[in-house]
Chains A and B, each alone.
Chain A
Amino acid sequence: MHEAIDIEKLGGVKEGERKKPRSKEARHEIACQPADERIHNYNEVALGYNPEIAVSEAMRCLECPKPRCVVACPVHIDIPSFIGKVSRGKFEEAAEDIRQYNNLPAICGRVCPQENLCEAACIINDTNEGNPIAIGRLERFSADWQLLHGNHSGSEVHKRPATGCKVAVIGTGPSGLSCAADLAKMGHSVDMYEALHKPGGVLMYGIPEFRLPKEIVQKEISFVKSLGVNIELNCVVGRTIPVEEIMETYDAVYVATGAGFPNMMKIPGENLNGIYSANEFLTRVNLMRAWQHPAAGTPVRKPKKAVVVGAGFTAFDVVRIALRLGAEEAQIVYRRSREEMPGRGEEIEHAEEEGAKLTLLTNPVQYIGDERGFVKAVEVQKMELGEPDSSGRRRPVPIEGSNYIIDADLVVVAIGQTPNVLIPSNLPGLETRWGSIIKVNRETYMTSVPKVFAGGDAITGAATVILATRAGREAARSIDAYVRIPTEAGPNPTDPADRGFLMEVVERFKAYLEEPFAESLMKDFESALKHLEEVDASPSMQDLVTDMAGLRENPSFPRKAGLFLSAYLKIAARPESIDLESFEDTRLEGLGACMDKADLTVKGDAGNYTGAFMLSGTLTVEGDVGDYTGFSMEGGTLHVKGLSESHTGHSMSGGRIVVDRNAHDFTGNRMTGGYIRIRANAGYSTGYRMVGGFIEVRDLAWDLAGEEMIGGRIQIGGHVGHDLGYSMVGGELAVNEKNSETPRVRAKGGQLTVVARGKKRR
């Protein structure tokens, strides 16, 4: 047992005391192993906070009632709540808080790019620039504290009763683990399949020990296992078990096979000995522990002069390993400039401290080998930056006659990975992009094959751990809705009372799926597409139209309807006020669904589909609401006094939704009319594919606001994240940015106005 936490000694908030935040102080730096020491070992570089510093850092947090950090977090961790607990010395409770939203906190606390996410959105940046709360470090601290001292067992986690549904998760990387853990908590039986001999995927083979200790990874995985998740190792789905067998055995399948296929440059000499793909080099060193060769069985080439091609996360990991393997010289060769480097700030800094060199605006053209077939040098060419390309970064252009030679006895190509084709090639009917990236419905994570879902790098190409975690989590919700309905007691069609309601809802669905909504929407999309063809042919817009047409066949849609319908039947008397204390499940779904000419007040929190299909009247929720609030509503007023999770106002055509606190992702998704007002902040993809209506966000709307927007209007009053108006083709998007920095704009059409500190552009 650890010593009792003396909060007074640690300088935190005592029981019953009020917190006096010290937001004006600078944030606490993290202790690191000195560079000259750490390049001789594989131990973790960043040492983490001790309780005293953690509490002191937590004391800086304002614990805002309308937190921006939460909407910017891809999994929407209740950050002020957990930091509040740290400042009160309740470290394990803080970790439990995080765990409600993220199943891998000790991992994400280490490898998540917080400086672009929660920490970038922190309100302290407005007054004390460059000193946001060190959210990531506090997350790591809380999770580590729990792993070391806490009651870390999944058997104590609150789980829903067993549903009897069986789900297969293929791949045990961050996305698979996150999905499996959530599904297990939801009461489903989960089997995971892993091709390698250890679970963890990229967390084991990709990220080096000095950045993410493997012991931590295995501890987090044991937690997932303790929830009842079964992991089968050494099992390649599509080989060891045929895909058909999986399809027959399970009610749903989540494909989280990552992006494990290495991209190479296809230049002369690339197959010389001593030239590795980043995947091979990292797998040898991290998973197979080749740095311990010959004690460990797997060898790796020990370099004198190492060249790493690329400048992403992976490239920096590789260059730092090369130094630890004893390289006298290790350099990154990158074709663009420092500004465009996709690697993370802290990692770049650490690599440079350790002696890694950056050779920028330079690209390899061929490799030169010795008589034994080993690489001895790289011929490179200098580059300059031209016009921006489709990623918004300036395209590098070769400078003729600028070639020169760099000596190298180890070259690692780290220019990205694409997904493995094993699953797509073994699953007939599975649609992909470029043959390997699995196509999914971006909101449900459903693939083109019934009951198969996919997420993580398998649907995006190589991205970050946190985005994969998010996909796993969202897919779990979607899979839950998909598998659960048939087994739950829903409305009974043979009961005349239920039958009337059922018929009513069936009629509404018909209206939703056919006339006039879908048709008018299709028209809008078609005209948008026509407009788009004049500007730029984008595959994503083509997909969009196919996607809309596919909505009619989306099997999860009517299933979800059953959910709120059954809740509606429970409260069919339509009382004026519902006291949720009297219901067993306080997050009842579908409250106020199909409401017409009535007023209803919900005292407390409500679940998903609150006010769905509402026609008129006023619905007030005094607490928080779940996903799909005001789904398909046509009229009336819906007032949420707490926060609203994702998909607020999805496909609404009329009426008003007012949310007093934050709304998470996809606010106003596919809406065609009506008005949504968010009195605080909104998460990702506000107004995604909206066609009409008006969304007003008072303060911050995070990344991808106006994504693929077609019509209507969005007004953002405070801040925005990255990729504003990504692929938007129509409508109006107006931003009143309070920062002097103008956001990266990615619109293809429509009207986009950004006023940054009074200066108007575009």
Chain B
Amino acid sequence: MYEITGKKSLATGVVEMKVYAPRVARHHKPGQFLMVMNDEDGERIPLTIADSNAESGEVTIVFLEVGRTTIELATKFNVGDSLFAVVGPLGTPTHIENFGTVVVVGGGLGVAPIYPICKGLKEAGNKVVSIVGYRRKDLMFWEDRIESASSEMIVTTDDGSFGMKGFVTTALEKLHDEGRKIDRIIAIGPPVMMRAVSQLTEPWKISTWVSLNTIMVDGTGMCGGCRVEVGDETRFVCVDGPDFDAHKVNWDEMFKRMKVYTEEERRALHADEPCRLEFQALKK
């Protein structure tokens, strides 16, 4: 069993959780994810590993209360409880070497997974310029951590309540317009944001990488539910990714595939209350 050793709310709907999973913690590399199952009846969902501590055996996940599983995780699971299954670290780690100057963009929840990447890139000798974007000031989290792992950090908020007003792309465009030397861009966040970054940087001819978070079942290359077209070839996000060359991703297809279970998800959320009660009763 995988005990929850820490839990705190970072912002409205954003939860940070520490879970005891020593093997995952020991072998985790930046860019990798894990699969979580709340209980035996639960769904397997992929979550990016935001941090790990090999000594204490803990891994940190940061998630948004958005679907049935994450809502349940946020509301019903507390420190001392255990998760039914945690498996990882999965996926190919982010490619890290000394590129020169790397701009790492994190939007919203995407701020969490860029933390180990910034750290890794900085250790490899890169100049790391991070851009972290939030909708409002009260939704900000981890900007202190990112700052410590970067050479330079820019914060944006949609409404201008903190830092630069606008989106992460506003900041990125400004950097480029200033004529700053950029050798590589890594962007993680909501799909819409990643596509916007991709479209922005394509004319610049700067290698841009994104981390895709598609629907998965096993997370080990077995089902192909996560498949996405990259450069005219079907790739599996769970094993070939999650990092891909942003300019080669078929974004339209990916957007459609993300919505495959919206109807079922809605039904599940609605059906939840009575059904959950029945389940609890059964378990007692």
B225 touches A240 (CB 8 A): no
Tell me the residues in window 244-273 of chain A with beta carbons closer than 8 Å to chain B beta carbons. Answer: 260-262, 264, 266, 270-273
B220 touches A294 (CB 8 A): no
Asked if B37 lies at the interface with its beta carbon under 8 angstroms from chain A, I say yes
- Tell me which of B221, B234, B275 contacts A261 (CB under 8 A): B221
Chain A, residues 224-248, CB within 8 Å of chain B (1/0): the string is 0000000001111001111000000
Contacts of A296 in B (CB 8 A): 41
A261 to chain B, nearest CB (A): 6
Contacts of A239 in B (CB 8 A): 27, 88-90, 220
Please give me the residue from chain B that is nearest to A295 by CB atom: B275
B87 touches A236 (CB 8 A): yes
User: Interface residues of A: mostly helix, strand, loop or mixed?
Assistant: loop
Asked if B85 lies at the interface with its beta carbon under 8 angstroms from chain A, I say yes
**Residue of A197, A233, A264 with most chain B CB atoms under a 10 A cut-off:** A197
B41 touches A271 (CB 8 A): no
Contacts of B223 in A (CB 8 A): 262, 277, 279-280, 283-284
B5 to chain A, nearest CB (A): 17
A258 to chain B, nearest CB (A): 9
Asked if B127 lies at the interface with its beta carbon under 8 angstroms from chain A, I say no
- Tell me which of B90, B221, B260 contacts A420 (CB under 8 A): B221
User: Interface residues of B: mostly helix, strand, loop or mixed?
Assistant: mixed
Contacts of A273 in B (CB 8 A): 256-257, 259-260
B101 to chain A, nearest CB (A): 31
Asked if B10 lies at the interface with its beta carbon under 8 angstroms from chain A, I say no
B264 touches A299 (CB 8 A): yes
Contacts of B257 in A (CB 8 A): 271, 273, 373
A242 touches B43 (CB 8 A): no
Segment of B133-141, B157-165, B192-200, B265-273 in the binding face: B265-273
Please give me the residue from chain B that is nearest to A241 by CB atom: B23
Contacts of B89 in A (CB 8 A): 239-240
Asked if B182 lies at the interface with its beta carbon under 8 angstroms from chain A, I say no
Tell me the residues in window 47-93 of chain B with beta carbons closer than 8 Å to chain A beta carbons. Answer: 68-69, 84-90
Asked if A161 lies at the interface with its beta carbon under 8 angstroms from chain B, I say no
Contacts of A240 in B (CB 8 A): 23-24, 27, 87-89
A279 touches B222 (CB 8 A): yes
CA distance A272 to B275 in the complex (A): 31
Asked if B228 lies at the interface with its beta carbon under 8 angstroms from chain A, I say yes
Please give me the residue from chain A that is nearest to B87 by CB atom: A234
- Tell me which of A235, A261, A270, A274 contacts B87 (CB under 8 A): A235
Contacts of A270 in B (CB 8 A): 234
- Tell me which of B24, B43, B86 contacts A297 (CB under 8 A): B43
Please give me the residue from chain B that is nearest to A242 by CB atom: B27
Asked if A544 lies at the interface with its beta carbon under 8 angstroms from chain B, I say no
Please give me the residue from chain A that is nearest to B234 by CB atom: A271
B170 to chain A, nearest CB (A): 30
Q: Interface residues, chain B, CB within 8 Å of chain A?
A: 23-24, 27, 37-38, 41-44, 68-69, 84-90, 217-218, 220-225, 227-229, 234, 239, 253, 256-257, 259-261, 264-265, 267-268, 271-272, 275, 278-279
Q: Told that A234-B86, A261-B221 touch, could you supply 15 new A-B pairs with CB distance under 8 A?
A: A242-B27, A260-B220, A264-B234, A273-B259, A276-B224, A279-B222, A279-B223, A280-B222, A294-B272, A298-B217, A299-B265, A372-B259, A373-B257, A420-B221, A422-B220
Q: Interface residues, chain A, CB within 8 Å of chain B?
A: 195-197, 205, 233-236, 239-242, 260-262, 264, 266, 270-274, 276-277, 279-280, 283-284, 288-289, 293-299, 301, 372-374, 420-422
